Amino acid sequence: MAQKRKYNMRWSDIYSLGLLPAILMWGLSPFLDEKAILIASIILGGGWIVFSYFYIYLFKRCGIIGWITGWAMLLSGLIRSILYQTGIMQSPLILFEAPCIALLSYLFEKHDIRPHSCYEYKMRRGIMQEQYILGDFSQYEAHYIVRLVLTGALLSTGLSWGLFLYGIDIESRAGTYFYFYFPSGLGLAIILFESIRRLLIQHLIEKYEKKSKYHSAQSDKELDFMEFFFTEIRIMVIGDEKIFLTENNGNRNKFKFNYYAGLDLPIHHRTTYCTTLGEESQKARQIVRDELGIENPDLRHVCTTIAQKPWQQIGHYILFLPHDSLSKLNRYPGRWYTVNEIAHLFHSDKLHPLFKELYARLYTIVDTARTYHSNGKRRYAIRGYKPAFSLHRIDQMNIVFDDPIWLYVSRHNEDHLLYRIDTWIRKLFSQKDSSNNRDA
């Protein structure tokens, strides 16, 4: 029997803990002289940037706000030290720290500006890759807490600059409170709020886990009203180096999580919620048997993602059909598309968004596995050479399509300028290869 997963909240789930160095500086500033504050801000900020970078690099969760805080402390410390040396203006650090935090938070939220390794985290896990149930909330919570930090930074910016321009001195009681203790208390309040929120989310997950298991055992008729508990199984069909696509008109049935239209996969079915990958794979195979009459389908799991609402997940699969079975797709109103045809359609609005996501993932996996070994070393001695992408014999490649190592290698390989440094860092921190495939 599979061991039951635990949802115990960890301190690494609290994203706003990245504010701690700034909170510490704000709280201690009234007891430090000017030079000590500036030096501490620059050193602590630089150190926090490095720590947060590696924390994200090692695929933890709370590094992004630490990265924002570190850069805010470093930049504000440098700006303030220049002003201090030139004697242009005597001012508290919060005047520069709060705007920097607000700016970086805004760029993260609106323009997707983030540390390079944060993108690597997404590549390894998948853009919407499921990290079981808590992963659905974690991805949303990152943006929610960043927006909360942005709001607090804007509030601190407006208040501190308003008081400063009004003439409130740092050494006055009001100045000490609003320049130091207020932002410190606000940061602690955000951490406390997120901690309580996380505990409530954990309680919600455990509560609905029990409901999901109960309703998944009921008949389809009894499940009709349970629109929050289902799995969408989507199957890409490949045969003779082509992909079969049909027109999806975007049926707005309340059970459909995606309303977009476009060329889509022929097989996509809603079923009861699957709590394990094994259960989901069995249902996918049963769908192929029922739809195409194939008893032992060559079906490969690619990824399982989270839909727009919790407890609505999507399982992505690839079905490889032999030549003598291609006629089984005649029941669908579509046709076979070549790689070149799909490439021309990819950047248009004619492909269904979920098909584009799955195809891009498949492209990256196959292209990477044909170019590099799983340790990032090139298969060919010609630097920069990459084989042209094709569907030829990909069903015979010695890879597991849902293994994240190929997405990781696509960003960390011998052609990457910092590949040797990356390799050394992973050895230093004893990070082992997650792949079960040593080669393709």
Rounded to the nearest integer, the mean pLDDT of the chain is 77
Query: Using one digit for the tens of pLDDT, what is the confidence trace for 161-184?
Result: 998 888 887 778 888 888 888 999
What's the pLDDT at 283? 93
What's the pLDDT at 124? 42
pLDDT-derived band at 54 (thresholds 50, 70, 90) equals: confident
First to last CA, the chain: 32
Least Cα distance to 31 among 219, 221, 181, 244 occurs for 181
Backbone angles phi, psi at 49, to 5 degrees: -60, -50
Query: Using one digit for the tens of pLDDT, what is the confidence trace for 68-91?
Result: 888 888 988 888 888 877 765 567
| Three-state SS annotation for 109-165 | HHHCCCCHHHHHHHHHHCCCECCHHHHHHHHHHHHHHHHHHHHHHHHHHHHHHHHHH
200 vs 115, more confident: 200
Q: What is the DSSP letter of 3?
A: P
Q: To which residue do tokens 């009001």 refer? A: 174
pLDDT at position 99 over 60 = yes
CA pair distance 162, 164, nearest whole angstrom: 5
Query: Mean per-residue pLDDT for 338-346?
Result: 90
Query: Mean per-residue pLDDT for 60-72?
Result: 78
Query: Using one digit for the tens of pLDDT, what is the confidence trace for 189-213?
Result: 999 998 888 888 777 766 655 655 5
pLDDT at position 92 over 60 = yes
What's the pLDDT at 251? 53
What's the pLDDT at 380? 84
Query: Mean per-residue pLDDT for 366-393?
Result: 86
Q: To which residue do tokens 């079906």 refer? A: 299
CA pair distance 41, 70, nearest whole angstrom: 9
CA pair distance 213, 112, nearest whole angstrom: 37
pLDDT at position 301 over 90 = yes
What's the pLDDT at 386? 80
What's the pLDDT at 257? 40
pLDDT at position 422 over 90 = no
108 vs 138, more confident: 108
What's the pLDDT at 209? 56
| Sign of the four-CA dihedral 122, 124, 127, 128 | negative
pLDDT-derived band at 220 (thresholds 50, 70, 90) equals: very low
145 vs 418, more confident: 145
Backbone angles phi, psi at 335, to 5 degrees: -155, 175
Instruction: Calculate the alpha carbon distances from 142 to 88, 127, 264 in Å.
Output: 39, 14, 31
Query: Using one digit for the tens of pLDDT, what is the confidence trace for 245-299?
Result: 998 876 544 434 444 678 899 998 888 878 788 889 999 999 999 999 898 899 9
Q: What is the DSSP letter of 181?
A: I
What's the pLDDT at 3? 40
Q: Are 235 and 319 in contact (CB under 8 A)?
A: yes
Instruction: Calculate the alpha carbon distances from 205 to 68, 270, 305 in Å.
Output: 29, 22, 17
Instruction: Calculate the alpha carbon distances from 31 to 35, 180, 241, 377 in Å.
Output: 12, 11, 71, 54
Instruction: Calculate the alpha carbon distances from 154 to 64, 178, 293 in Å.
Output: 18, 14, 60
What's the pLDDT at 189? 93
What's the pLDDT at 200? 82
